[in-house]
Structure 1
Amino acid sequence: MPHRDPRQRLRRIRLIATCLLAAMAALFVAARLLQPGYPWLGFVAAFAEAAMVGGLADWFAVTALFRHPLGLPIPHTAIIPRNKDRIGANIAEFLEHNFITPDVVRSELQDIDLAGVAARWLADEANSRAVAERIVGTIPAVLNMVEDRDAAAFVGGALSSSLKDVRLAPVLAQVLTVLVSGRQHVRLLQKVLGLVAHALEENRGYIRQKVHEHSPKWIPRMVDEKFFERLMDGIGSILDDMANEDGAWRQRFQLLVEELIDNLQHSPEYEDKLRALLTRGLEHPLFRAYVAEVWTDLRERLLNAGASPESRLLLRVQDAVRIFANALAQNEPVRIKLNDWLKGFAAEAIVERRGLIVAVVQKVIDKWDAETVSAKLEQQVGSDLQFIRISGTLVGGVVGVLLYSVSLLLGAH
């Protein structure tokens, strides 16, 4: 159905009400002129007369709301133009205390499935693509805002700030306790010993050469060779003893680990040493250079990945958006929790800013001149007020007939 202009509707209803009033006036004149020959026209004249009075009274009341009737500055007319500012303030206050309240806002949001709507919208391929393009499109702007040295400083500062209130020694003690309880420290030791043994075996020739290079020239080469063999056998024997679970080396290693855990848990000195070591490491130029290098490589990869319309990054982000949407649509408990959070956030945000909302309403009304406010309000409610004129005309006529009948009955007595 086409939308009807409220101004056209107002003009049409106003014309009907005015024509009805004019018809009552014409009917009254005709009935009065013909009444001597047709006494029954007294009822018609009474109807028309009362209808004119009712129609004129309602016309005056309706017109007095928006302007001075006939342009005459009659007191208590043009009510809306004269009270524009007060009306704006009252409308704003009415909105604030009757519409934008916590109970009303929560009630209106109660039956809205915000998470479900978002999930269904994101599940659409075109929408997920648009969201992915928007996310990927912001990457270059964000990356180009950050200089390499700023990234290194930020990472170092962020780590320092995040670890400032953390006691490092007890945390490390807990990690070691977990490793010891699962005998991971033994597996780690075995792995290290295996690597050392493999490295010695792989570099036997290099070690033999170094032994010969550092031996005095007067010592026979055969003696160097025996020294080398005994050195390698001695190192191998030590490694075997350390790998033996029942050996003295293993027991000593276990005691050292337990002692370290105890010191980390109870010795402030270890905490200070760890803190100083971490601080020196984060402030070291090598660390900052490494972070800057990693950041540069990461930034280049992200920029190259987002440059193509069909880049893997874009496709992965789109897939992630669709997976999130499908998971959200299928997981009702998560959707309920998300809805509760969204509704609570929306309600709090709206209610906390209702002062700004009503201030905008009042500010807009204050900017309008009196004629504009009057015209806008008349366009919205004027048609209904014109129907009051029509009803007043007809009701007045009926009342007039009743009063005329009562007067005839009283005269007959």
Structure 2
Amino acid sequence: MALKTTKPKQNYIAGISLGVMGAGFAATLPFHDGALGLRLLQGGFEAGLVGGLADWFAVTALFRHPLGIPVPHTALLPKNREKLTEAVIAMIETELLRKESIGDKIKGIRIAELALNKVKTGIEAGTYNNAISSVLLSVVKNIPVHQLTGLIMREIQQVADQLDERAILNRLWDEIVSRGYDEKVIDLALDRVEAWVRQPEARDLLGRVGTEQVQQIKLGGLMQFAVNAFLGYLSEDKMGDLIQGFILKQVENFKDPDNLNRLKLLAILHVEVKNALERPELLEEIKGWKDNLLDKLDLEKKIEVYIESLIIRVQGIVVSREFQDQWLTPFLRTMLERLEESPERIEQGEQWIQQQAIQLVEKHYSKIGALVRENLNKLSNAELVTFIEGKVGRDLQWIRINGAICGFLVGVGLSLIRALV
């Protein structure tokens, strides 16, 4: 803040008093041999004039050369302004604004409690809702969608790269076995085989294929005769019925959970699957399929579109009255209540705030003196004199008035003594 250097309206009583003394001295000068009363007045005015002039000279010499004459030891303030500046700074730093006193004052202020009370009042009145909503809205609007999408894609790719295909496949197979899906697959296959075999078309096909296969058997002598006789006895229909019945019987046997062949089939299935899961070419194929899947899904574009739509929805939410009343205000109230339930945390916060404030004062304490020096150095001698006269000029005028009055009284007393002697 700039110092006010405009010279205020002065009380000219001191000048008037000096004028009165001068006029009285001039008026009574012809009567210095006259009546006693006139001689007393003349002596009083003379001494009052001398006293007033002496005090005027003394007061004026503090600020400037009297009548512009460079009398030695006058204009004391301009000549010693550097000493005055340093004295003012020293007085401020060592007496008025000591670091210790500022620190003590800060410690006496419960800043955290005052802030909490202010915040609590503001929360209950809803004072902060619009401001917080505006901040949240600004944050949401400035979310870098493209960068965020890239970050999410990199995280997804990193997770995909870290997946252990072998462990996943083994875990999947163990889960299938533990849930009995392997047996369910066999049962499903048996049901399908049974359903197909029971069809007339399947029976006819089996009879025809079976007959053709027997006819292709080439044996010699009596064995060939026996085979031909067998074929003559069995038609394709009978062959179909025979094969159909055999297959259905085997299907029924395999459906029995305790059937030995079924258990062997399950054991063989487990071994073959385990061996297949350990094949490097299968793992490489699955890995390539995984990478191709990420590319084909075009996740980056879908994620970016989703984030943009989500941002639009969130913008509408954070500025709504419903969000402020049903979410923001209760959230702030809950956070404040939790803080008030922890006096030790408030005390820690109080100490931290005071410590930061004291450190801030200590760090910038030297700037107080620098600021005072800077502001004083901005003033010219005339401005500095005007500033100080504006602050103490009235009291200095009373010095001149008192000098004139005291001189007048002393002059009257001396004149009376001289008359009596």
Question: TM-score, structure 2 length as denominator?
Answer: 0.55
Q: Quick one: structure 1 residues 334 and 213, their matched pair in 2 at CA, closer, same or farther if it must change by over 3 Å?
A: same
Q: Which has the larger radius of gyration?
A: 2
Deviation at 1:122, TM superposition (A): 3.1
Confirm whether residue 222 of structure 1 aligns to residue 252 of structure 2: yes
Separation in structure 2 between the aligned mates of residue 104 and residue 398 of structure 1, nearest angstrom: 49
Please state how far the C-alpha of 1:43 moved relative to its aligned partner: 3.6
> What are the Cα deviations for residues 122-171 of structure 1, in whole angstroms up to 9, with x where unaligned?
3444996444433433334445555357569999xxxxxxxxxxxxxxxx
SS at match of 2:356: helix
Alignment partner of 1:346 out of 331, 338, 357 = 357
> For 2:190 and 2:367, how far apart are their aligned partners in 1?
85
What is the Cα deviation at residue 16 of structure 1? 1.3
What do residues 242-262 of structure 1 show as CA deviations (whole Å, max 9, x unaligned)? Answer: xxxxxxxxxxxxxxxxxxxxx
1:52 aligns with one of 45, 49, 54: 49
Task: Report SS of the residue matched to 1:11.
Answer: coil
The Cα of 1:345 is off from its aligned counterpart by 2.6
Q: Deviations over 1:2-43 (max 9, x none)?
A: xxx9968x5342x11111111122233334444544313444
Which residue identity lines up with residue 54 of structure 2 in the other structure?
Answer: A
Q: Name the CA distance, whole Å, in 2 between partners of 1:50 and 1:321.
A: 80
Provide the secondary structure at the position in 1 that maps to 2:73: coil
Residues 399 and 355 of structure 1: CA distance in aligned 2, closer, same or farther (over 3 Å) = same
Give TM-score, length-normalised by structure 1: 0.56
Partner of 1:74, secondary structure, is: coil
Correspondence 1:16 to 2:13: yes
Query: Matches of 2:334 and 2:256 in 1, distance apart?
Result: 68
Change in Cα spacing, 1:357 to 1:12, as seen in structure 2 (3 Å) is: closer
- Counterpart Cα distance in 1 of 2:56 and 2:186: 117
Q: 1:209 and 1:143, CA in 2 relative to 1: closer, same or farther beyond 3 A?
A: same
Alpha-carbon separation, structure 1, partners of 2:190 and 2:389: 108
CA contact (8 A) 1:129 1:318 kept: yes
2-side partners of 1:209 and 1:302: how far apart? Answer: 50
1:209 aligns with 2:150: no
CA drift at 1:105: 0.4
Identity of aligned residues (%): 23
Unaligned runs of 5+ in 2: 153-174, 198-246, 261-294
Q: Distance in 1 between matches of 2:333 and 2:50?
A: 70
Task: Determine if contact 1:65/1:79 at 8 Å carries over to the other structure.
Answer: yes
Residue 138, structure 1, aligned to residue 135, structure 2: yes
The whole-number CA distance in structure 2 between the counterparts of 1:141 and 1:6 is 46
Taking the aligned partners of 2:256 and 2:115, their CA distance within structure 1 comes to 79
Question: 2:418 aligned to 398, 408, 413, which one?
Answer: 408
CA contact (8 A) 1:31 1:44 kept: yes
CA contact (8 A) 1:133 1:314 kept: no
- Secondary structure at the aligned position of 1:377 is classed as helix
Task: Report the counterpart of residue 306 of structure 1 in structure 2.
Answer: 318
Partners of 1:89 and 1:355 lie apart in 2 by 13
The amino acid of 1:92's aligned partner reads I
- Structure 1, unmatched stretches of 5+, are 156-195, 231-284
- For the residue of structure 1 that corresponds to 2:318, the secondary structure is helix
Deviation of 1:357 after TM superposition, in Å, equals 3.0
1:359-395 per-position Cα deviation (integer Å, ceiling 9, x unaligned): 2332233233332222222222222322322233333
CA–CA separation in structure 2 for the residues paired with 1:328 and 1:24: 76
Equivalent pairs counted in the alignment come to 312
Structure 1 Cα separation of the partners of residues 336 and 415 of structure 2: 76
SS of equivalent to 1:226: coil
Take 1:402 and 1:214, find their aligned partners in 2: how far apart are those partners? 150
CA distance change for structure 1 residues 384 and 334 in 2, over 3 Å: closer, same or farther?
farther
Question: What is the RMSD of the two structures over their aligned residues, measured on CA atoms?
Answer: 5.1
2:379 is matched by which residue type in structure 1?
W
Alignment of 1:112-151 (within 5 A): 112-125=109-122, 129-143=126-140, 147=144
Task: Find the counterpart in structure 2 of residue 252 from structure 1.
Answer: none
Q: Is the CA contact 1:328–1:334 (under 8 Å) kept in the aligned structure 2?
A: yes
Structure 1 residues 37, 354: CA separation in 2 closer, same or farther (over 3 Å shift)? Answer: same
Summarize the Cα distance change of 1:22–1:149 in structure 2 as closer, same or farther, 3 Å threshold: same
Structure 1 pair 34–304 and aligned structure 2 pair: CA distance change class (3 A): same
Query: 1:267-346, aligned counterparts within 5 Å?
Result: 302-308=314-320, 310=321, 312-313=323-324, 316-318=327-329, 338-346=349-357
Structure 2 residue 105 is the aligned partner of structure 1 residue 108: yes
Q: Is the 8 A contact 1:208 1:225 kept in 2?
A: yes
Contact 1:119 1:326 in 2 (8 A): no
Residues of 1 paired with 2:75 and 2:394: CA distance? 18
Question: For residues 52 and 114 of structure 1, what CA distance do their matches in structure 2 show?
Answer: 61
Q: Distance in 2 between matches of 1:147 and 1:34?
A: 101
Deviation for aligned residue 1:63: 2.4
